Amino acid sequence: GESVGLHLPTLSVQEGDNSIINCAYSNSASDYFIWYKQESGKGPQFIIDIRSNMDKRQGQRVTVLLNKTVKHLSLQIAATQPGDSAVYFCAENRTGRRALTFGSGTRLQVQP
């Protein structure tokens, strides 16, 4: 079946280090991917997206990499800060489909 999943449930990093959160997807028809950040007690918040015609996209301190060959997506956070502590979800969609499918999330813990 189709799925969007994450390799690690929890990632702990030191403040100032770079963080890499990974995500695997199974459906080769997926052509749109989003990373969401969810802080405790809040709804998911959009971070960055990427379409399948791209391999890389950069935002402020964040970079998303897409490897369609191995169906893998990663979120890189540069100079991780305490405010980055949250659960991060990847989600995917494809043309003609009505709603996003979410992975189970990775908790990022930033150690001072």
Partner 1 sequence: NAGVTQTPKFRVLKTGQSMTLLCAQDMNHEYMYWYRQDPGMGLRLIHYSVGEGTTAKGEVPDGYNVSRLKKQNFLLGLESAAPSQTSVYFCASSYRDRGDTEAFFGQGTRLTVV
Return the residue of 13, 27, 49, 74 that touches partner 1, per CB under 8 A: 49
Measured from the CB atom, the residue of 2 and 15 that comes closer to partner 1 is: 2
Return the residue of 20, 31, 62, 65 that touches partner 1, per CB under 8 A: 31
Pairing between β-strand 10-14 and β-strand 106-111 as defined by DSSP bridges: parallel
Q: How far is residue 85's CA from residue 74's CA, in Å, rounded to a whole number?
A: 17
42 touching partner 1, by CB under 8 A: yes
Q: How far is residue 70's CA from residue 17's CA, in Å, rounded to a whole number?
A: 26
96 touching partner 1, by CB under 8 A: yes
CB atoms inside a 10 Å sphere around CB 107:
15
Given a contact cutoff of 8 angstroms between Cβ atoms, the answer to whether 76 and 62 are in contact is yes
45 touching partner 1, by CB under 8 A: yes
Q: Which residues bind partner 1 (CB under 8 A)?
A: 4, 9, 31-32, 34, 36, 41-46, 49, 51, 89, 91, 93-105
